[in-house]
Amino acid sequence: MAHWILRLDMRAPEFGAAPAALYAAALQMAEWADAQGFDEIMLSEHHGSPDGYLPSPLAMAAAIAARTQRVRIRISALVLPLHDPLRIAEDVAVVDQLSGGRIELVIVGGFLRGEFELFDRPFERRGRSVEAGLALLERAWSGEPFEHEGRRIHVTPRPLQRPRPPILLGGSSEHAARRAARLADGFVPALPGLYPAYEQACRARGRSPAPDRQLGPGCLHVAEDPDAAWATLAPHALHETNSYGRWYAEGVVTGPYEVMEDADALRAAGSYRVVTPDECIALARELGDDVWLFVHPLLAGLDPEEGWKSLELLAAKVLPALR
């Protein structure tokens, strides 16, 4: 069966649901995803966003860990240069213990200068900060004391996973792909065309590359009447794609979103798929068992009641057929 991912980034634009309602629903939906056999809950991180984009994914991960039993919890992505790596080491270790060893990280260098200014961090050093931070995480999670810059460091508790939680690197350049081949357990490219650079770099180092993820639509929503559902989702989808698109332009990077002002054109582009249960079953079968399908029931402040309608159809009509 396809891999099912519950995506939560907690955007709450003014025209959408209130943050309190969204956070309460997110935890309930995490429990639902766990019970339904989802493979992963994906949390993201950005700072200073007017729409309240999730700034504390590890705090959210701890809450989800307490409400779930088996689903993996992936931080995708964590902007490591904005943080003290030793504090990240401690927080991740605690979440790993709370979750029974279910946390994994996608680490990135970041691309928004304003976030670095917010935390008074040097934007130009972010690549070096990622590499130094990764080295510290490795040593911190060994469970052994070590010396660092004249200080004795001992991070406890140690994560439950051995030798440590999985670390992948994300990025939008061939340089990021080569860094992932050198330092990480895998690579999460911003665009599919970057995976070959990672694969080539791994083989040059005598390493087996981590498998490339085959990604389905960025948002899959199930409805008995897709046209009516799209009319409800469209403002939220436009908010998301335009927010990301403007961030990409600001950071001079590429990614899977673009600025689009027309809802019909956005729907036709295929990143947001609103389908009937039968269409969802057919799509999952067409894409195959290796595809990753993203469910985004709180899309940019979508009313949780609308999100639940999609999830309930998934549970009642789609997932049983695929199993």
Reported as a single tens digit per residue, the pLDDT across 181-207 is 999 999 999 888 899 999 999 999 999
CA distance 213 to 192: 9
Compute the half-sphere exposure of residue 112: CA atoms within 13 Å on the CB side of its CA. Answer: 17
Q: What percent of the chain has pLDDT over 90?
A: 95
Residue 177 domain-assigned (yes or no)? no
CA distance 84 to 217: 34
209-218 per-residue burial string, b: 16 or more CB within 10 A, e: under 16: bbebbeebbb
Q: What percent of the chain has pLDDT over 70?
A: 100
CA distance 160 to 158: 6
pLDDT at 177: 95
Residue 191 domain-assigned (yes or no)? no
Quick: pLDDT tens for 31-54.
999 999 999 999 999 999 999 999
pLDDT at 231: 98
Range of the structural domain that residue 93 is part of: 3-165+213-322
User: Per-residue confidence at 142, pLDDT binned at 50, 70, 90?
Assistant: very high
Residue 200 domain-assigned (yes or no)? no
Mean pLDDT of the chain: 96
DSSP state, residue 96: H
Residue 171 domain-assigned (yes or no)? no
The total of structural domains in the chain comes to 1
Quick: pLDDT tens for 150-185.
999 999 999 999 999 999 999 989 999 999 999 999
Quick: pLDDT tens for 199-232.
999 999 999 999 988 999 999 999 999 999 999 9
Residue 184 domain-assigned (yes or no)? no
Instruction: Output the DSSP codes for 134-196.
Output: HHHHHHHTTSS-EEETTEEE---SPPSSSS---EEEEESSHHHHHHHHHHSS-EEESSGGGHH
Give the DSSP H/E element, type plus range, for residue 39. Answer: none
Instruction: Output the DSSP codes for 220-284.
Output: EEE-SSHHHHHHHHHHHHHHHHHHHHHHHHHHT---S------HHHHHHHSSEEEE-HHHHHHHH
Q: How far is CA 104 from CA 37, 60, 166, 169, 247, in A?
A: 18, 14, 5, 11, 25
Can you give the CATH number for the domain in which 260 is found?
3.20.20.30
- The answer to whether the peptide bond before residue 157 is cis (omega within 30 degrees of 0) is yes
Residue 291 has pLDDT above 90, yes or no: yes
Residue 194 domain-assigned (yes or no)? no
Q: What is the pTM of this model?
A: 0.96
Residue 206 domain-assigned (yes or no)? no
Residue 179 domain-assigned (yes or no)? no
Quick: pLDDT tens for 91-102.
999 999 999 999
pLDDT at 191: 82
